């Protein structure tokens, strides 16, 4: 978890260091300055998107860690449940011991009453009480009977004392048992509290971990949306101002692929790459447009490719027949599928900045016989 938190903090700090260009730009800004701001925004957006992808990649590890915490939580719950069962058992034992103690105490009171009566009789009669019984005998057989009677009375008195002692022993044993049960109960209660505290700590840890992930993800996504809104605002300003960029005139036999924008930010031919900074051949036109703008088929045909393509991101390729194909790259999403028939001007994708791109635009290529040709020969 510490590694994930460390990563999240470092990643967030890295993206926040990228300068976010505000949407407001003065009218005095030149076309090149506006384009530079768009490129800066595009780099910031790309960095944010990369961090979003990294965060989403780390989500699996985060979910594994959460699952591990859940297993520990379940183990603590099992221990808590076991402690509760022990506490319930001790409560039953305590109730039983208390009932037996109450019963023994009642018996003791009864024995005390009986013993008190006997003591009172003996105190009043003394030892002569037994002698009088014997002296009142009328015969030897009566004497023997009376002697047996006296012996039974004395045995009965001793039995009262023995029972009283046994009851007292029982009371002491039950008192000790109850005290022991109370001590055991307190120990179990302490265990329960400890487990509850541990579970609360794990739950809090899970919430904090997930909240940190969602917070960082939300910040990056918010940054991307803000940059895209700023980019759209700058693009509108660029479209409204004069610029050296070439404008589609509508004179070609194919229709223009981006109805929302008539500008071209990068022509067909050799140029300095905005990604690598090296001179390279650019095999199409880059047409900047607001994020999500419709990309349409330049002419009727059959979709032969509709998926991710290295460099171009989400890409559409349409076969128009006679060896002519058109390619539309860097889209944010695709509307048509491979094998689908499309008509001239039909929406096939949404403008974006996927793949190797520094801002929202459509890379538009026309190929003939498998080789790229100047799109202006077809779109004017």
By CB neighbour count within 10 A (0-12 exposed, 13-18 middle, 19+ buried), where does 133 fall? middle
Given a contact cutoff of 8 angstroms between Cβ atoms, the answer to whether 360 and 343 are in contact is: no
More confident residue, 140 or 334: 334
Beta-carbon-side half-sphere exposure of residue 105 (alpha carbons within 13 Å): 9
Higher pLDDT: 132 or 47? It is 47
pLDDT at residue 117 is higher than 90: no
Cα 257 from Cα 346, distance rounded (Å): 9
**Residue 77 pLDDT > 90, yes or no?**
no
Q: Residue 279 has what pLDDT?
A: 76
- Taking the C-alpha atoms of residue 191 and residue 60, their distance in angstroms, rounded to an integer, is 34
| Percent with pLDDT over 70 in the chain | 64
Task: Report yes or no: 276 and 234 within 8 Å, Cβ to Cβ.
Answer: no
3-class secondary-structure state, position 276: coil
Instruction: Measure Cα distances from 52 to 9, 29, 65, 92, 316 in Å.
Output: 13, 32, 19, 58, 25
Residues 6+ apart with CB under 8 A from 157: 118, 122
Q: Does the pLDDT at position 5 exceed 60? A: no
Rounded to the nearest angstrom, the gap between the alpha carbon of residue 197 and the centroid of all alpha carbons in its chain is 20
User: What distance, in Å, lies between the first and last C-alpha atoms of the chain?
Assistant: 58
Rounded Cα distance between 222 and 48, Å, is 9
DSSP-assigned beta bridge partners for residue 160: none
- Concatenating the DSSP letter of every residue in 31-60 gives HHHHHHHHHHHHHHHHHHHHHHHHHHHHHH
pLDDT at residue number 307: 93
Cα 250 → chain centroid: 53
Query: What share of the chain has pLDDT > 90, as a percent?
Result: 22
pLDDT at 340: 95
Computed on alpha carbons and rounded to an integer, the radius of gyration of the chain in Å comes to 48
Segment 24-31 shows an average pLDDT of 52
Give dist(CA 279, CA 161) in Å, integer: 117
Report the candidate in 203, 181, 169, 160 with the shortest Cα–Cα distance to residue 73.
203
Which pLDDT band, with edges at 50, 70 and 90, does 200 fall under?
Answer: confident
Grade residue 68 by pLDDT with cuts at 50, 70 and 90: confident
Q: Mean of the pLDDT values across residues 49-53?
A: 84
The two tokens of residue 149 are 């009677």
pTM beyond 0.85: the answer is no
Rounded (5°) CA angle 155-161-166: 120
Residue 303 — pLDDT band, cuts 50, 70, 90?
very high
Give the max Cα distance, the chain. Answer: 158
Indicate the pLDDT class of residue 23, thresholds 50, 70 and 90.
Answer: very low
Q: Please name the residue that has the structure tokens 């190929």.
A: 367
Res. 363: pLDDT tops 90: yes
**Mean per-residue pLDDT of the chain:** 75
User: Which pLDDT tens digit goes with each residue over 129-188?
Assistant: 555 665 666 665 655 565 665 565 666 666 766 776 777 777 777 777 777 777 777 777
Residue, of 107 and 344, whose pLDDT is higher: 344
Q: Identify the pLDDT of residue 250.
A: 45
pLDDT tens, position by position, 242-288 = 444 444 444 568 999 999 998 998 889 887 766 556 678 889 999 99
Tally of CA atoms within 13 A in the half-sphere of 77 that contains its CB: 8
Which structural domains are found in the chain, ordered by start? Answer: 1-244 (1.10.287), 246-379 (2.70.70.10)
Q: Is the dihedral of CA 352, 357, 361, 362 positive or negative?
A: negative
Which of 216-225, 335-344, 350-359, 366-375 ranks highest by mean pLDDT? 335-344
Residue 115 has pLDDT above 50, yes or no: yes
pLDDT at 167: 72
Instruction: Please give the distance of CA 210 from its chain centroid, rounded to a whole number.
Output: 5
pLDDT tops 60 at residue 311: yes
3-state secondary structure of 302: strand
């Amino acid at each position: 978890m510490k590694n994930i938190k460390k990563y999240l903090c470092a990643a967030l700090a890295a993206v926040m260091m990228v300068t976010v260009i505000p949407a407001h730009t003065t009218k005095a800004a030149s076309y090149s300055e506006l384009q530079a701001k768009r490129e800066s925004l595009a780099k910031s957006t790309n960095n944010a998107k990369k961090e979003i992808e990294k965060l989403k990649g780390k989500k699996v590890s985060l979910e594994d860690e959460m699952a591990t915490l859940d297993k520990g939580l379940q183990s603590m719950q099992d221990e808590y449940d076991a402690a509760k069962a022990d506490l319930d058992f001790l409560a039953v034992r305590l109730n039983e011991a208390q009932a037996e103690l109450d019963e023994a105490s009642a018996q003791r009171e009864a024995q005390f009453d009986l013993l008190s009566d006997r003591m009172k009789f003996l105190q009043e009669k003394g030892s002569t009480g037994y002698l009088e019984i014997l002296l009142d005998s009328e015969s030897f057989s009566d004497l023997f009977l009376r002697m047996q009677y006296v012996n039974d009375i004395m045995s009965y008195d001793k039995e009262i004392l023995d029972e009283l002692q046994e009851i007292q022993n029982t009371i002491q044993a039950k008192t000790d048992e109850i005290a022991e049960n109370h001590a055991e109960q307190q120990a179990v209660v302490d265990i329960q509290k400890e487990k509850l505290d541990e579970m609360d700590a794990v739950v809090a840890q899970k919430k904090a971990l997930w909240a940190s992930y969602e917070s960082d993800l939300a910040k990056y996504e918010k940054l991307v949306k803000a940059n895209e809104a700023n980019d759209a605002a700058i693009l509108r300003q660029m479209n409204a101002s004069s610029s050296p960029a070439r404008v589609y005139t509508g004179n070609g036999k194919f229709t223009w692929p981006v109805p929302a924008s008539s500008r071209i930010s990068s022509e067909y031919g050799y140029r300095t790459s905005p990604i690598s900074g090296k001179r390279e051949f650019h095999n199409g036109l880059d047409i900047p447009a607001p994020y999500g703008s419709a990309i349409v088929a330049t002419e009727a045909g059959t979709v032969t490719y509709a998926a991710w393509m290295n460099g171009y991101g989400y890409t559409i390729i349409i076969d128009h027949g006679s060896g002519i194909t058109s390619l539309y790259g860097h889209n944010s999403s695709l509307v048509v599928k491979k094998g689908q028939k499309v008509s001239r001007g039909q929406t096939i994708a949404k403008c974006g900045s996927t793949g190797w791109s520094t801002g929202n635009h459509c890379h538009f290529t026309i190929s003939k016989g498998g080789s790229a040709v100047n799109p202006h020969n077809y779109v004017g």
